[in-house]
């Protein structure tokens, strides 16, 4: 038994900000059916980012703009507890899949839209992409550590996409709890701007209008101070987090420094000391004396958490066979339960991988399915050439 077993979510989202949340809900046991165009999700061309937010889903490839395709979509919604997507404002209405249309076939539906800026106001009509909200939330200036003269920097990681998606997970779970208490569904929304706000939430403005100051990175952007930064070794890099006085004394001792050495004077001495051994050797040394540290893993070298034996034992790694890509490894269960373990249902689906099975569940015959495919309303992989990974 899984925590969310017995609940069904229909995922009409594309790219990352929409589909990532449903994948997390699927990892907790909810059945997730991805509905994507017959030509495929727009992010399939990006390869690994697509794979990172689609695992464990069943897949129906469907032309929502076709009247028959729209009817199939509503038949599917009628079986669901949750509808989730990241369409821009007005798009779901034009497709006939807005909250009112979906609620008409499922009265107690939980309906979630992850917008760009939000539901109301002059910016609500716009779509957007992750870096726009890094910028508008002030995160790019923060990354540049402006006091040291650096220009703003863009984080490659799609932080606003994923934080927005995780907010949608929280919202869906809260709405489902409300439904359990009252029997009532509801519409909810999050946004990429909300996601950016999460990462800017450590900034406060005092009554006089002056902001509190975040800790600032050093000029090299390797850390906050000599005890809390990255150091280069003679083979790789290591992150040190000597946040307590005893950590600092032990760090100095391990590096052969007098414990009375001031932090300002210690930094160049520590830099020189770390260059005398490898990152792994330093990590063992610091572990032995109780200084928090981690080797900075290089993904290009294959030294990632996905190939770490401890991570595997903790269930943080999932491995499965994909029909066209072969063996895949991804992060595994990220929430642990005593009685309802996480549920990694399988690899990301191919375009329309489950179309036939889902249509059969809705009552369509084999001949009807073939006619729909011929008309371009649905599709599924041709097993003789399993395109559309």
pLDDT in tens, 255-285: 999 878 888 899 999 999 999 999 999 999 9
For strand 82-85 and strand 8-11, is the pairing parallel, antiparallel, or unpaired? parallel
For residues 203 and 207, give the distance between their C-alpha atoms in angstroms, rounded to a whole number: 13
146's tokens = 């402006």
- In degrees to the nearest 10, what's the CA dihedral of 282, 286, 287, 288? 110
Answer yes or no: is pLDDT of 145 > 70: no
For residues 116 and 113, give the distance between their C-alpha atoms in angstroms, rounded to a whole number: 10
For residues 344 and 87, give the distance between their C-alpha atoms in angstroms, rounded to a whole number: 26
Q: Which residue has the higher pLDDT, 20 or 388?
A: 20
pLDDT at 218: 80
pLDDT at 149: 65
Range from 241-250, 310-319, 345-354 carrying the lowest mean pLDDT: 310-319
pLDDT at 76: 97
For residues 221 and 18, give the distance between their C-alpha atoms in angstroms, rounded to a whole number: 32
For residues 362 and 367, give the distance between their C-alpha atoms in angstroms, rounded to a whole number: 14
pLDDT at 166: 94
Over residues 10-25, the pLDDT tens digits come to 999 999 889 999 999 9
Q: Identify the band that residue 204 occupies on the pLDDT scale cut at 50, 70 and 90.
A: confident
Angle made by CA atoms 166, 216, 279, in degrees to the nearest 5: 80
Q: Which of 382, 380, 383, 388 is nearest to 60 (CA)?
A: 380
How many percent of the chain have pLDDT more than 90? 58
* Angle of helix 192-199 versus helix 159-182 axis, rounded to 10: 110
For residues 194 and 215, give the distance between their C-alpha atoms in angstroms, rounded to a whole number: 23
Q: Return the SS3 of 293.
A: strand
β-bridge partners, 163: none
Q: CA 132, 136, 140, 146 torsion: positive or negative?
A: positive
pLDDT at 189: 95
- Report the half-sphere exposure of 224 (CA within 13 A, side-chain side): 10
pLDDT at 309: 83
Q: Which residues, 6+ apart, have CB-to-CB distance to 23 below 8 Å?
A: 32, 53, 54, 55, 56, 57
DSSP 281: H
pLDDT at 383: 66
For residues 17 and 161, give the distance between their C-alpha atoms in angstroms, rounded to a whole number: 4
Query: For 289-309, what is the mean pLDDT?
Result: 80
């Amino acid at each position: 038994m899984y925590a969310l077993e017995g609940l069904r979510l229909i995922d009409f989202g594309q790219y990352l900000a929409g589909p990532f949340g449903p994948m997390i809900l699927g990892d907790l046991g909810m059945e997730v059916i991805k509905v994507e165009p017959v030509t495929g999700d727009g992010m399939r061309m990006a390869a690994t980012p697509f794979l990172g937010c689609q695992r464990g889903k069943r897949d129906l490839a469907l032309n929502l703009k076709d009247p028959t395709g729209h009817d199939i979509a509503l038949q599917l919604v009628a079986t669901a507890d949750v509808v989730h997507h990241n369409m821009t404002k007005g798009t779901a209405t034009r497709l006939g899949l807005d909250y009112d249309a979906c609620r008409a076939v499922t009265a107690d539906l939980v309906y979630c839209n992850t917008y760009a800026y939000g539901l109301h106001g002059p910016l609500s009509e716009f779509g957007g992409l992750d870096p726009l909200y890094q910028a508008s939330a002030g995160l790019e200036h923060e990354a540049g550590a402006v006091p040291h003269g650096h220009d703003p920097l863009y984080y490659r990681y799609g932080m606003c996409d994923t934080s927005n998606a995780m907010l949608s997970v929280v919202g869906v779970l809260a709405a489902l709890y409300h439904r359990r208490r009252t029997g009532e569904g509801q519409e909810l929304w999050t946004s990429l701007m909300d996601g950016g706000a999460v990462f800017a939430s450590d900034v406060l403005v005092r009554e006089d209008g002056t902001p509190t100051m975040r800790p600032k990175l050093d000029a090299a952007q390797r850390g906050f101070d000599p005890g809390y930064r990255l150091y280069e070794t003679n083979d790789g890099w290591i992150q040190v987090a000597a946040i307590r006085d005893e950590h600092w004394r032990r760090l100095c001792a391990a590096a052969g420094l007098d414990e009375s050495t001031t932090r300002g004077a210690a930094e160049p001495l520590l830099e020189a000391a770390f260059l005398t051994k490898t990152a792994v050797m330093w990590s063992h040394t610091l572990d032995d004396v109780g200084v928090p540290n981690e080797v900075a893993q290089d993904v290009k070298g294959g030294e990632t958490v996905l190939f770490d034996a401890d991570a595997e034992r903790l269930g943080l790694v999932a491995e499965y066979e994909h029909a066209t890509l072969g063996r895949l490894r991804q992060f595994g269960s990220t929430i642990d339960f005593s009685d309802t373990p996480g549920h990694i249902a399988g690899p990301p689906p191919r375009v329309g991988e489950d179309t036939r099975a889902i249509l059969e569940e809705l009552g369509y015959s084999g001949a009807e399915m073939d006619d729909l495919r011929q008309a371009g309303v649905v599709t599924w992989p041709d097993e003789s050439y399993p395109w559309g990974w």
